[in-house]
Chain A
Amino acid sequence: MLQFIIQGRGGQGAQLAGKLMADMFFQEGKNVLVYATYGGARRGTPVSSSLRVDDKPIRMRCDIEHPDVIVCFDPSLLEGGALLKGATAQTIVLINTSHPAEEFAHLGDFKVVTIDAMTVAKKYQLGRIVNTTLVGAALGLIGYANVELLEMVVAETSPVKSENNVAACMDGYRIASEGSC
């Protein structure tokens, strides 16, 4: 089973990122279970999307304890340590920031990777919408191969600027796949 926790703040598109990835794995024939938790859907409060992907039916209905990947939309979400609680030495922690990964070494023994998704989003006139870039990067980091399907699902899922979102997602994917995060 592959487990992702994607956390952003209300309005940043973390929930949509989880749904997009779920839809992609679903279309590949995988079993998926994705849900979002939030303390009241308000702009600015943390919103987490939890995604499980497996070849077998997924029966458990509980929080993800040891995620394979954590996607963090904003370093301020790391304060307090709740997001990284179940992370292990095998967990990929992808952080959207212009700072290098070394600056986050103090967080613990995880595979910390950073990407400046805001710059990618701006390059494609997406303003502050970094979710598609981060989805691309997360999938690049786990070596996901079905790029054609990813492009198609991003295009279908984007409420606006579908081509720009696909381009940003592919930039994220390339940066991560090439190890340039």
Chain B
Amino acid sequence: MKADSNRLLLSGNHAVSHAVKLVKPNVMPVYPITPQTPILELITEFHAAGEMTGEIMTMESEHSAMAAAITASLTGVRVFTATASQGLLLMHEMLHYAAGARAPIVMFNVNRTLGSPWGFWPDQTDSLAQRDTGWIQYYCENGQESHDTTLQAFRVAEQILLPTMVIHEAFYVSHSMEAVEIATQDQVDAYLPEFNPPHRLDPQIGESWGNTVSQIMFQNHRRDMGDAMERVLDVAKKADQELEELVGRGYGIHEQYRCEGAEFIIVTMGSMTGTARDAVDELRSEGLPVGLLKIKLFRPFPVADVREILSGIPKLMVLDRNYAPGTGGILYQELKAALYGLEGAPEIHGYLAGVGGTNISPANIKEMVHSAMGEKPVAHSVWKG
């Protein structure tokens, strides 16, 4: 590795660890699980070497890790943890609690297939199944984006007071090594203000959290959470722009790739996006008017933006590396709902592509585009790959 540069050869997971080191969390409750463990391993190495000073708590389960993260966060300090797959599912109860408690925890999740049967493959069902928990969710396509988005997540979570999950996929991102430009400490210090929430559990102030509430208090609390989610869209865009001004890398909360004059748009999230970029380039060179829409911020779902971008586009093809038995691809459902009633709404082909980590190449995506172009879509997800 070149010591004179911030450009390192890193796995996607280690790119995340470097970001966490720069944001200096005060508390990190941890529990290992493949393929997330390297994130926490490198953090504990930084800690052992004296390069990080926060408190690392080794817990007995993911449920306990999240419980510790919530209580630590409510004392008004910066908290990070990471998990994957079954570990995320074991946290499920606590994920709702974290959002309701408005605890701005940042958690990294590495997408991995859910048992049973057992596997270690990239599949986004684990985190997408948490879409109703009240967490902000970002999906990343490579280690660089995971590094930068982790920085953004702290900014957004702490400003909005909602927990934030940053996500990339097993192996194709988590264990892939590539060049990653690490932000400098000065850049991150300039970017991320000190976390100093107005309300916190502190014996000097005398506040509490967790009272039993009336029906209307509960409803109003949920409405407040909804209002906070609405604000995320602008706050996240600004957080992205301001990081770009400092480090020269920006992503938006979604990205249109070669959509100028497009009559057919592929919609992706996560690592499939990179593969689809290659497919789009090849299709464009064949003279086909094909573009790509990458959804990066999935919660809150950018409904108004998506309606504006996709209005008047004749056809969409959604690629879902996830599966909800009984309904199909989750991104497909979300897009259909977002576009309902839109004048000039596109026809939507929903394809289950890469479920369980099955391999999807640029050639596979091109084939899907060619077949979708000549077909009427059906009203449900179709298995591909």
Chain A residues with CB under 8 Å of chain B are: 19, 22-23, 26-27, 31-41, 58-63, 65
Contact = CB atoms under 8 A, between A and B. Distances in A.
Contacts of B361: 60, 62-63, 65
Interface of B: 1-2, 9, 34, 120, 141-142, 169, 171-173, 175-179, 271-272, 274-275, 277-278, 359-363
A35 B141 CA distance: 15
B313 to A, nearest CB: 23
A142 B34 CA distance: 35
Nearest to B275: A60
B29 to A, nearest CB: 25
Q: Which 6 A-B pairs have the closest CB atoms?
A: A59-B274, A61-B172, A61-B271, A35-B176, A63-B359, A60-B275
A59 B176 CA distance: 12
B175 A36 contact: yes
Contacts of A23: 1, 9
A35 B177 contact: yes
A144 B265 CA distance: 41
B257 to A, nearest CB: 10
A23 B1 CA distance: 7
Contact of B274 (A31, A34, A60): A60
Given A35-B171, A60-B275, 5 more contacts: A23-B9, A31-B179, A32-B178, A59-B142, A60-B361
Given A60-B278, A61-B271, A35 B175 contact: yes
Contacts of B141: 61
A32 B172 contact: no
Interface hub of B142, B173, B177, B277 (most chain A Cβ within 10 A)? B177
B282 to A, nearest CB: 11
Nearest to B2: A27
Contacts of A41: 34
21 contacts: A26-B9, A26-B179, A32-B9, A32-B177, A33-B176, A33-B177, A34-B178, A35-B172, A35-B177, A37-B171, A39-B120, A40-B34, A59-B275, A59-B277, A60-B277, A60-B362, A61-B141, A61-B169, A61-B272, A62-B172, A62-B360
User: How would you classify the secondary structure of chain B's contact residues: helix, strand, loop or mixed?
Assistant: loop
A1 to B, nearest CB: 11
Contact of B177 (A19, A39, A59): A19
B275 A33 contact: no
Interface hub of A22, A58, A62 (most chain B Cβ within 10 A)? A62
Contacts of A31: 178-179
Contacts of A59: 142, 274-275, 277-278
A135 to B, nearest CB: 16
A84 to B, nearest CB: 16
A30 to B, nearest CB: 9
Contacts of A37: 171
Nearest to A23: B9
A40 B112 CA distance: 13
B175 A61 contact: no
A63 B362 CA distance: 11
A39 B361 CA distance: 21
A116 B207 CA distance: 72
A40 B176 contact: no
Contacts of A22: 9, 177
A34 B171 CA distance: 10
A38 B361 CA distance: 19
B275 A61 contact: yes
A58 B141 CA distance: 12
A32 B46 CA distance: 26
Given A32-B9, A35-B172, A62 B178 contact: no
Nearest to A34: B177
